[in-house]
Amino acid sequence: MATLNLTELKCIRKQDITGSDEPEIYVGGLKVWNGKMGKDDVERLSESRGFSDSVLVELKERDGNSAKSLGTWTISDTPSSTKTLTATSSGYHYQLKYTVAA
């Protein structure tokens, strides 16, 4: 079994025009983190989850009662040093850093 360690989320450009973004991180379909972020904010994360073979990671941005997916990635159980997942479009830009331990 491998362990996914989420270490940092950076908001380079927020999705909402006014107010703060409300990003949420899901691992294997379960919400593991949520917060409020503005442009250039960095959140240090200490979320760890065990998994076998691979796991789906998703970044969403909540607006009221609904959440928009900003990006989804499949992480394999191959041990790694820090890697960066990038979620970007014309309306937002986020970077999520993680490691995988054996």
What's the one-letter identity of residue 15?
A: Q
For the chain, domain boundaries: 2-101
- Locate 29 and state its tokens: 């379909």
Please tell me the least confidently modeled range out of 24-28, 64-68, 83-87, 94-98.
Answer: 64-68
Q: Candidates 2.60.40.150, 3.90.870.20, 3.90.420.10, 2.60.40.10; correct CATH number of 2-101?
A: 2.60.40.150
3-class state of residue 90 by DSSP: coil
β-sheet with 93-101: strand ranges across: 42-51, 2-13, 93-101, 80-88
* pTM as predicted: 0.94
- What local confidence, expressed as pLDDT, does residue 18 receive? 87
Number of neighbouring beta carbons within 10 Å of residue 16: 15
- Distance from C-alpha of 68 to C-alpha of 35, rounded to nearest angstrom: 15
> 66-79 pLDDT, tens per residue?
999 999 999 999 99
